[in-house]
Amino acid sequence: MTSALKVRDRRPRARPFSAPVWLVVLAALCASAAAIPLVYLLVRTADAGLTELLDTLLRQRVLMLTVNSVLLALAVTVTCLVLGTAVAWVLTRVRMPAARFWLLVSALPLAVPSYLAAYGWLVAVPSMNGFFASWLVMTAVCTPYVTLPVAAALRGASGDLEAVARTLGRGPLAAFRAATWPQVRPAAIAGALLVCLYTLSDFGAVSMLRYQTLTWGINAAYSASFDRNQAALLALVLVVLALVVVAGERRSRGQVPRPAARTVPPRVLPGRWRIPLGALVLTAPVVGVLIPVAGLVTRLLQAETIRSIDVPRLLGAIGASLGLAVGGAALAVLLALPIAALAARHRGRLVNAIEAVGFLGHALPGIVVGLSLVFFSLAAVPALYQTVIVLVFAYAVLFMPKAIGSTRSGIAAVPGGLIDVSRSLGLSPLVTWWRVTARLALPSIGVGALLVAISVMKELPATLLLRPTGISTLATELWGRTAVFEFGAAAPYAAALVLLAAVPAVVLSGIRGVAKEEDEL
């Protein structure tokens, strides 16, 4: 997600709409696949009727769940915005020893799912629960969503206006707020959007920490009731909240001021400041990574845990996680390719609309997509209910935006002159695409696939609702055991999940490093 925030838009400036009809139709069909969960959820809500809708929404318990969700999302977003911006300022404006190390450490919480962090804290503090516990864990794992884009924006921000503000007598904080903040605000708001959506859609952490939100209510209504209209209505409330957040982010984003050539170089602060500034940078990694991993390792090394490991079940969960990750990544890339190809080379209202629908999964919580596809598969294609096909499709809907963003940037970077030369040699559009565009854009397509694969391995709520009987992933095994407080039995699955998700992350880092070196050359 973070890489999409830093991708430069290399699409050509406004020109007459000339996209091939077949590409527009194919992209529209792929985008419409992402809209199936939301459309069917609306249909299901309409069938329930206005009376049942109002009756459900006005129930005291539903209001309580909604207020809990909003309060948690607001608290986590504000905290991450303040803490992430402060950490980004330290990383870019203060000369710290081993600067690359501090940047890497600040991004570590992105590799830990919220429910895994919650599990680690519960191992260390079994009585931990409620709003404060959920706020602490969610803030720790979400802070990098603000830190990384704001740090990138600060590196390119002009220092001229801030210097002028200082000469007029303003202090460092006032000068930053007046001169530099407007330049980095779009990046900060975009990061805050990701934090808010992640918090609203979280199910695993809040369930483990026993803080009842809308995601918890949706799962409870679906699991315990024969009339599942209530689950659909609660899901609609969650979708409305997510769409309100997205709309608010777009309205408040504003224009990015054009920076001047001179940027602010890092400065050396007195030695007494290094410890508090280092502690500030380490806050999220310690809370979101170090303490949970320490709890995991401690429990994993206990003798009774080692003796109780069910090796065949563990290997089965690893195989299922790998297989679903490959399937979800492949389908997400296939659906994203036409949309990315259209958006990379053409502009217009129709193109923007198709791309926006493709990104719809970005605003749909996993539990909503899972619930919608349960209803859809039972009504439209009962034979596919609780099959791998529906589960993989859910992954594609949820994580298609990751593939679209990366693939679009790769296709846009292919020089148009090469395509024109290929066509002038008599090659068809399809052959030109395969020999020129696809080959040059392949690294970016691979990055998108790896991003999706990592996300699939960590996905929990949709997997719980849609997984076929007898198939369990590492995430569902971990959640199932922690739900009944079997922390020792959950440790092997948590460790395997961390190691398994680290493999594509390392590969992804290598691909990005190679791409960066090529850009510099």
What is residue 518's predicted lDDT score, i.e. its pLDDT? Answer: 36
Single out the residue in 237, 262, 287 at which a domain terminates. 262
For 173-196, write each residue's pLDDT tens digit. Answer: 666 666 677 777 888 888 888 899
For 446-477, write each residue's pLDDT tens digit. Answer: 888 888 888 898 898 899 889 998 889 999 99
CB 82 within 8 A of CB 191: no
- On the 0-12 / 13-18 / 19+ scale of CB atoms within 10 A, 170 is middle
If we measure between CA atoms, which residue out of 109, 451, 436, 83 comes closest to residue 286? 109
DSSP character at residue 261: S
162 and 308 assigned to the same domain: no
314 and 252 assigned to the same domain: no
b/e map 481-502, b = 16+ CB within 10 Å: bbeeeebbbbbbbbbbbbebbe
244 and 326 assigned to the same domain: no
User: Which amino acid type is present at position 175?
Assistant: A
CA 232 to centroid of chain Cα atoms: 23
361 and 462 assigned to the same domain: yes
pTM here? Answer: 0.80
DSSP 267-307: BPPPGGGHHHHHHHHHHHHIIIIIHHHHHHHHHHTSHHHHH
Mean pLDDT estimate for the chain? 80
66: left (phi over 0), alpha (psi -120 to 50) or beta: alpha
Enter the tokens of residue 7: 């991708």
331 and 216 assigned to the same domain: no
The total of structural domains in the chain comes to: 2
For residue 367, give every residue at least 6 positions away whose Cβ sits within 8 Å of its Cβ, in sequence order, or none: 201, 203, 215, 218, 219, 235, 238, 461, 462, 465
Residue 1, domain member (yes or no): no
257 and 365 assigned to the same domain: no
Single out the residue in 198, 233, 262 at which a domain terminates. 262
- On the 0-12 / 13-18 / 19+ scale of CB atoms within 10 A, 215 is buried
257 and 329 assigned to the same domain: no
321 and 205 assigned to the same domain: no
235 and 373 assigned to the same domain: no
If we measure between CA atoms, which residue out of 437, 434, 483, 476 comes closest to residue 456? 476
- Torsion sign (Cα): 225, 230, 236, 239: negative
Average pLDDT of 327-342? 92
What is residue 159's predicted lDDT score, i.e. its pLDDT? Answer: 61
344 and 228 assigned to the same domain: no
8: left (phi over 0), alpha (psi -120 to 50) or beta: beta
Enter the tokens of residue 108: 């570590």
* pLDDT over 70 (residue 29): yes
What is residue 1's predicted lDDT score, i.e. its pLDDT? Answer: 41
CB 139 within 8 A of CB 87: no
224 and 325 assigned to the same domain: no
In the chain, the percentage of residues whose pLDDT exceeds 70 is 81
Residue 291, domain member (yes or no): no
Residue 231, domain member (yes or no): yes
* pLDDT over 70 (residue 228): no
Residue 50, domain member (yes or no): no
Residue 499, domain member (yes or no): yes
* pLDDT over 60 (residue 510): no
State phi, psi for 486 to the nearest 5 degrees: -95, 70
* pLDDT over 60 (residue 520): no
Q: Helix crossing, 291-300 with 114-124: angle to 10°?
A: 60
Residue 366, domain member (yes or no): yes
DSSP character at residue 158: B
Residue 17, domain member (yes or no): no
d(CA 479, CA 205): 9
20: left (phi over 0), alpha (psi -120 to 50) or beta: beta
* pLDDT over 90 (residue 219): no
Single out the residue in 208, 230, 262 at which a domain terminates. 262
b/e map 10-32, b = 16+ CB within 10 Å: ebeeeeeeebeeebbebbbebbe
CA 198 to centroid of chain Cα atoms: 7
CATH code: domain of residue 443: 1.10.3720.10
Least confident stretch, 102-111, 211-220, 264-273: 264-273
258 and 306 assigned to the same domain: no
Residue 148, domain member (yes or no): yes
Provide the residue range defining the domain that includes 469: 26-32+302-521
For 140-165, write each residue's pLDDT tens digit. Answer: 999 988 988 888 777 766 665 666 66
b/e map 176-213, b = 16+ CB within 10 Å: beebbeebbbbbbbbbbbbbbbbbbbbbbbbbbbebbb
H helical segments located in 346-433? 349-358, 366-380, 388-412, 416-424, 429-432
What confidence tier does 90 reach under pLDDT thresholds 50, 70, 90? confident
